[in-house]
Amino acid sequence: MEERKIVVPGETIIQGEEFLPGDGTRREDKDVVANRYGLAEVSDKLVRVIPLSGVYTPRRGNVIIGKIVNMNYRGWVVDFGTHNNGFLNVAEYPRFINKGELKEYLTFGDVICAKVFSADDTSVDLSVKLRGFGRLNGGQLITINPNKVPRVIGKEGSMVHLIKAATGCEITVGQNGIIWVKSSKVEDELNAKKIINFISENSFVSGLTEKVEEYIKKDLKLEIKDIPKPEPFVEPEFREERNFRDDRGFRGGFRGDRQ
């Protein structure tokens, strides 16, 4: 299957024992069959169905964007758009903090990018110890359906790279459907928002990259500049501490080159 297509439960996506069933699919003899309604995708012999609607369920290792809504001597409470708030323990901050000093580092209303450390039905624990996580200063937040995040990211971050090349914005995509964009010009941020919303509204369309490029050039009348792609890297063990602001690549979600 060369193009993504809309499938319904029970529909055969592709035939062949060499293909592996992934999320939202199952095997029936030599066929890989859809378990749910959504967008079928085949990548490196792995077949999955991306749902087109639904709610976000946090999983260990996910990148999320949220807002500090409360705090105590142990850490910060983070609202990231689910029925359970997340908790960022002071031990999961990249430096030692004395009791009573929490507000000096993160406080009410701060927007952060964090990684899900653990998650179950009652609690979600977060971490900002690894590189590239922490407070997001300035910029704008955009909210989309969490199930459309993979389309906004694109294969190996290709769609985010395209948005950045057209607008010059720094971009961080949370898997909870919250996206942060920042530029020195508000107009650039607004254009990035328009592109992201266009992708979200057309996430089911085949050949989406070409349609986005056409939208950027003809509708927004923007130039797609030639900028280097961030280098992929193998992420260290989750518990390993890294320098806080040294970020330059792909993670559980996707972020652009935020300094």
Confidence at residue 156, expressed as pLDDT on a 0 to 100 scale: 86
Question: Whole-angstrom Cα distance, residue 160 to residue 255?
Answer: 8
Q: Which residue has the higher pLDDT, 170 or 234?
A: 170
Contact 147, 52 (CB under 8 A): yes
Same domain, yes or no, for 89 and 114? yes
254-255 β-sheet, strand order: 140-143, 178-182, 170-173, 254-255
Q: Dig out the tokens for 45 from the structure.
A: 């012999």
- Per-residue pLDDT, averaged over 46-66, amounts to 89
Q: Which residue has the higher pLDDT, 244 or 165?
A: 165
Confidence at residue 239, expressed as pLDDT on a 0 to 100 scale: 42
- Specify if 140 maps to a domain: no
Q: Dig out the tokens for 235 from the structure.
A: 């992420």
User: Does this model's pTM top 0.85?
Assistant: no
Range of weakest confidence among 16-20, 67-71, 231-235, 239-243: 239-243
Kindly report the CATH number assigned to the domain that includes residue 28. 2.40.50.100
- Specify if 93 maps to a domain: yes
Same domain, yes or no, for 73 and 125? yes
CB-CB neighbours of 217 under 10 Å: 13
Count of residues for the chain?
Answer: 259
Question: Whole-angstrom Cα distance, residue 141 to residue 174?
Answer: 10
Kindly report the CATH number assigned to the domain that includes residue 98. 2.40.50.140
Whether residue 86 is predicted with pLDDT greater than 90 in this model: the reply is: yes
Amino acid residing at 259: Q
Same domain, yes or no, for 71 and 117? yes
- Specify if 28 maps to a domain: yes
Tens of pLDDT along 127-152? Answer: 999 988 999 999 999 999 998 999 99
Distances (CA, A) of 160 to 28, 60, 156, 175, 245: 36, 23, 9, 13, 20
- Specify if 45 maps to a domain: yes
Whether residue 244 is predicted with pLDDT greater than 70 in this model: the reply is: no
Share of the chain above pLDDT 70, in %: 87
- Examine the fold and report which residue of 77, 109, 135 is the final residue of a domain before the chain moves on: 135
Q: Which domain holds residue 25?
A: 5-51
Same domain, yes or no, for 35 and 68? no
Same domain, yes or no, for 36 and 75? no
Q: What residues form DSSP beta bridges with 254?
A: 173, 250
- Specify if 187 maps to a domain: no
Question: Whole-angstrom Cα distance, residue 164 to residue 145?
Answer: 21
Same domain, yes or no, for 44 and 85? no
Q: How far is CA 171 from the centre of its chain?
A: 10
Quick one: pLDDT band at residue 246, thresholds 50, 70, 90? very low
- Specify if 36 maps to a domain: yes
- Per-residue pLDDT, averaged over 74-97, amounts to 94
Confidence at residue 232, expressed as pLDDT on a 0 to 100 scale: 53
Same domain, yes or no, for 71 and 125? yes
- Specify if 19 maps to a domain: yes
Whether residue 252 is predicted with pLDDT greater than 70 in this model: the reply is: no
Same domain, yes or no, for 68 and 130? yes
Same domain, yes or no, for 69 and 10? no
- Examine the fold and report which residue of 105, 135, 165 is the final residue of a domain before the chain moves on: 135
- Specify if 47 maps to a domain: yes
Same domain, yes or no, for 82 and 119? yes
Q: How many domains does the chain have?
A: 2
Share of the chain above pLDDT 90, in %: 67
